[in-house]
Amino acid sequence: MSEHPEEFKESGLVRFLRATEVDTRLLGMIGALLLIWLGFHFYGHFVNGFGAFLTPRNLWNLSVQTSSIAVMATGMVLIIVTRHIDLSVGSLLGFTAMIMGVMQVWVLPKYLGLGHPMIWVITILVGVAFGTLIGAFQGFLIAYLSIPAFIVTLGGLLIWRGASYLVARGETIAPVDPTFALIGGGPYGTIGATGSWIVGIIVCIAIVLMLWNGRRQRVRFGFPTRPMWAECLIGLVGTGFVIGSVLVMNAYPWPKGIVKKYAAANNIEVPESGLFISHGFAIPILIAIAVGIAMTFLATRTRFGRYVFAIGGNPEAAELAGINTKKMTLLIFALMGALTGISAVIASARLKSATLALGQFDELYVIAAAVIGGTSFAGGIGTIYGAILGALVMQSLQSGMVLIGFDAAIQQMVVGGVLVLAVFIDTLYRKNSA
């Protein structure tokens, strides 16, 4: 074909990429992530005498720590794609967490009695509803009153932080409802070895079904299909990754103290060699994955998602095509608020309390995650999986530096530098690929 004059001199790698239709960006990000992981591990190994990064324990912790940022980053993608920004997510997270804290510690026990099984459900509903409403309100100001998103959410950053102070007079609200706390992870907030295998196998089956269905669709309409070996390879890599994650998560046992308590409570005899109880997947990471899947579906398979990207590509064209761009803007910010509410559940459940500082600077990590994941500030470009990987990169950097004992000042500087570097690389990449 005349469009591909370079075809005859294509290297094996290019042919491979075309056959598998793998995004080169995705490969680049995975490469960067592996580099970061290996770098921290071997730095620890050689300098501190112990490589702590690539251990089941650290990877499990990493998965839990990433969840809250990852959930918000999926929403931030849509915001940035439509050429807006949301600086208020950190404060909003703190505020909704505080509302939920007050709800479950001060308000609900009074009416339902302490430890009532509905407390955590009502609390979460209230929290997510609050987040959604506030997000929608900010979206309303941006869409219908034409105040720039930067200003509205900058105001929000101050207002919601101040509001969370007022709600609890600056107190730390603790302890949260025990069922609520499970959502934050911790030994009890996991699904165990068997549960992890079940989840893993379901995901593997889903991957195979999706590949099969995609191929069938292409055949049905007579579009070109990937070669069979490429389909199989993608399937193998995908399922291999899932099974690998299950193995790693299951390799991290409960601490001895908790095992002893659990055994005593359930009349299990602990053998001489100790009892190996796996953590398995933590509940927060399962929530993050579920949100990631739902958001990917929303972004790529629905009208809503199509409109988000069309607005980002050319707002005027979207308007002329009959898309209600104002309503879309309001909905996108409402969705961001809802996701922030979910993140607030995860974050405060993990701390088992609502503190005044909760979520501080989260907006920066969330925006950084989206941008590192390939979301373009020029609008119209971004992926959900990219943002989740971006969140993982940010969190890996941060916890890696903690593990090898860098101090907080250096951590901040590194994270800032990486953000700028990532955007620079992104710019180079777009120049070359355009």
Partner 1 sequence: MSDSNSANAPSADPNAGKTPLVEMRDISIAFGGVHAVDKASCELYPGEVVGLLGHNGAGKSTLIKILSGAYSRDSGSIFVDGQEAIINNPRHAKDYGIETIYQTLALADNVDAAANLYLGRELLTRWGTLDDAAMEAETRKVMNRLNPNFTRFKDPVKQLSGGQRQSVAIARAIHFNARILIMDEPTAALGPAETEQVGQLIHQLKQDGIGIFLISHDIHDVFDLADRVTVMKNGAIVGSAQTKDVTKDEVLGMIILGKCPAGAIPGPGALAD
Letter string b/e over residues 173-209, b meaning 16 or more CB atoms within 10 A of that residue's CB: beebbebbbbbbbbbebbbbbebbbebbeebbeebee
Distance between CA atoms of 203 and 251, rounded to whole angstroms? 19
Distance between CA atoms of 232 and 23, rounded to whole angstroms? 17
| Closer CB to partner 1, 164 or 329, in the complex | 329
User: Whole-number minimum distance, CB 6 to partner 1, in Å?
Assistant: 16
Residues in the chain: 434
User: Whole-number minimum distance, CB 221 to partner 1, in Å?
Assistant: 5
Phi, psi (deg, nearest 5) at residue 278: -75, 150
Q: What angle do CA 269, 275, 279 make, to 5 degrees?
A: 125
| Closer CB to partner 1, 23 or 171, in the complex | 23
| Closer CB to partner 1, 144 or 276, in the complex | 144
Structure token digits, residue 23: 């995004």
Distance between CA atoms of 325 and 315, rounded to whole angstroms? 8
| Closer CB to partner 1, 194 or 324, in the complex | 324
| Closer CB to partner 1, 156 or 380, in the complex | 380
User: Whole-number minimum distance, CB 129 to partner 1, in Å?
Assistant: 24
* Residues engaged in binding partner 1 (CB under 8 A): 1, 3, 217-218, 220-223, 297, 300-303, 305-306, 309-314, 316-323, 379-381, 434
User: Whole-number minimum distance, CB 320 to partner 1, in Å?
Assistant: 5
Eight-state DSSP code of residue 177: P
Letter string b/e over residues 143-159, b meaning 16 or more CB atoms within 10 A of that residue's CB: beeeeebeebbbebbeb
Distance between CA atoms of 246 and 223, rounded to whole angstroms? 36
User: Whole-number minimum distance, CB 304 to partner 1, in Å?
Assistant: 10
| Closer CB to partner 1, 269 or 316, in the complex | 316
User: Whole-number minimum distance, CB 390 to partner 1, in Å?
Assistant: 19
User: Whole-number minimum distance, CB 337 to partner 1, in Å?
Assistant: 24
Distance between CA atoms of 319 and 307, rounded to whole angstroms? 10
| Closer CB to partner 1, 297 or 361, in the complex | 297
